[in-house]
Structure 1
Amino acid sequence: MSDSNPTPAVKPVIAAGAAKRANASVIGMLLAMFSTVAIVLTIVWLNPEPKAGAYRTEVDVATVAGHAADTAGFLPVAPVLPEGWSANYARWNPPGTDGVAYWDVGYVTADDTFIALRESVTANPTWIAAQAQQAPVTGTRTIDGHDWELRDNPKGERSLVFTSAETTIVLTGAADFKDFDILAAGATALLDEYAATANPTSKESK
């Protein structure tokens, strides 16, 4: 005859010492986690995120342009810009797969925005479109008597493109138009100066 009373379930019993050790491990783990978080927060507090201006460097664009001229075969533009502007790099890029070599300068404006200036005497439509981030042509902007092609990117960046018989300059960045105008005017002023120096009689004949 079977026993009608079910066998009660056996509950495991943890010894007091083992339970104490387990609790100590959990507490230790929590304390270690809180300590790590506190250290990270302290480091972040002591080292706040630097402002854009902290990344400014003093690159002598005119000097680098002079050194690049022999390789480039022309004197790249190094515009004279207002106080508060700076360049964080200036370099000559040899031809890539597209066959286009170009002068490349990164400018930080007085408002801590960025504009890249790229100039080439071997530019082609594919290279221009790539430098302008494939942005569509949306108009023309006249700056100091020179017409620049305007290309607007929906993501916020824009480009100005200036093309002459001698060279092509592409300005690209997220800065305001007033800053683009300053850089564009400085670049074309140098181009006019170079042209007058190369053809001194052309200015006298006008």
Structure 2
Amino acid sequence: MTDADGRPIVAELGRPETAEETWARKDAARTARRQHQTAFNLVIALIASLGIVLFLVAVVVRPDSTVVDRAVDYQKVASQAKVPGVTLAAPDLPDTFSSNRADYKDKTADGVSVWTVGLITPDKQYIGLQQGIKANESWVSNQLDQRAATGSRTIDGTKWTVYDRRAEGDAAGNHAYSLVSTFGSNTIVLSGTADQSSFRTVATAVSEQFAR
């Protein structure tokens, strides 16, 4: 429908638009289109960013946080340590054993110098070897959470004091099972989560080293 001058009549107004109304309508339309385009571009950018993140997650190799694999040559570390007159425990073990720690601390809070080796067994369990040089009873007790001995056993001719806490489950941590023995002025504490066979292997190798 048009007016006498041929201009279209706007239904909402019941008359033709004025020039100002036409300009305002077109400007509002342009603004709406710009806003729509901006929102559309934002969505596309977000999708692209998410795609990049997913791609990186898929292709980047990440280490398995459940396995600690820091190969340490504890025998080499022991040979290079400057500890005059002291044999540091660095037993010869099967190749199926590995180590993730080897360090020496001179005079700890207990006044005892300590050599520590972390051993990983073939079935991925842990045995910590600590050697207290001229250790006192306080040091030994502290290594074992002040727990009382539960027995003793002889391995390859060497008597070891046993601290068995496996009945405590996870509460025992890395002290689920422990063996303690003395070789001259050196007190060896073996503690960990390994089975009897692995403890026997380590204890035997320690005894053989100090017997040489």
TM-score range with shorter-chain normalisation?
0.5 to 0.7
CA–CA distance in structure 2, aligned partners of residues 176 and 30 of structure 1: 57
Is 2:94 the counterpart of 1:77? no
Is 2:208 the counterpart of 1:189? yes
The equivalent of 1:57 in structure 2 is 71
**How far 1:80 sits from its partner (Å)?**
1.0
The equivalent of 1:166 in structure 2 is 185
The equivalent of 2:10 in structure 1 is none
CA–CA distance in structure 1, aligned partners of residues 138 and 37 of structure 2: 67
The equivalent of 1:111 in structure 2 is 123
CA–CA distance in structure 1, aligned partners of residues 188 and 151 of structure 2: 15
The equivalent of 1:66 in structure 2 is 79
Q: Percent identity?
A: 27
* SS across alignment from 1:99: coil
Q: Residues 54 and 118 (structure 1 numbering): CA distance in 2 closer, same or farther, change over 3 Å?
A: closer
CA–CA distance in structure 1, aligned partners of residues 146 and 58 of structure 2: 40
Q: Give 2:108's match in structure 1, choosing from 68, 90, 96.
A: 96
Query: What letter is aligned with 1:65?
Result: A
User: What TM-score comes out, normalization by structure 2 length?
Assistant: 0.66
Is 2:133 the counterpart of 1:121? yes
Q: Can you list the C-alpha shifts for 1:33-92, whole angstroms capped at 9, x where unaligned? A: 444443333333331444877825251x33332332x42531011111112112233221
Structure 1 unaligned spans of 5+: 1-12, 195-206
Is 2:147 the counterpart of 1:136? yes
How many residues are matched?
Answer: 178
The equivalent of 1:87 in structure 2 is 99
Query: What letter is aligned with 1:42?
Result: F
Comparing 141-150 and 99-108, the one that deviates more: 141-150
Q: Residues 86 and 25 (structure 1 numbering): CA distance in 2 closer, same or farther, change over 3 Å?
A: same
Query: What letter is aligned with 1:99?
Result: G
User: What TM-score comes out, normalization by structure 1 length?
Assistant: 0.67
Q: Residues 169 and 101 (structure 1 numbering): CA distance in 2 closer, same or farther, change over 3 Å?
A: same
**How far 1:159 sits from its partner (Å)?**
4.2
The equivalent of 1:175 in structure 2 is 194
* Structure 1 segment 9-24 matched on structure 2, within 5 A: 15-24=28-37
Q: Residues 54 and 124 (structure 1 numbering): CA distance in 2 closer, same or farther, change over 3 Å?
A: closer
Q: Is the 8 A contact 1:92 1:103 kept in 2?
A: yes
Q: Residues 22 and 64 (structure 1 numbering): CA distance in 2 closer, same or farther, change over 3 Å?
A: same
Tell me which structure has the larger Cα radius of gyration.
Answer: 2
Is 2:57 the counterpart of 1:38? no
Q: Is the 8 A contact 1:116 1:173 kept in 2?
A: yes
Q: Residues 183 and 34 (structure 1 numbering): CA distance in 2 closer, same or farther, change over 3 Å?
A: farther
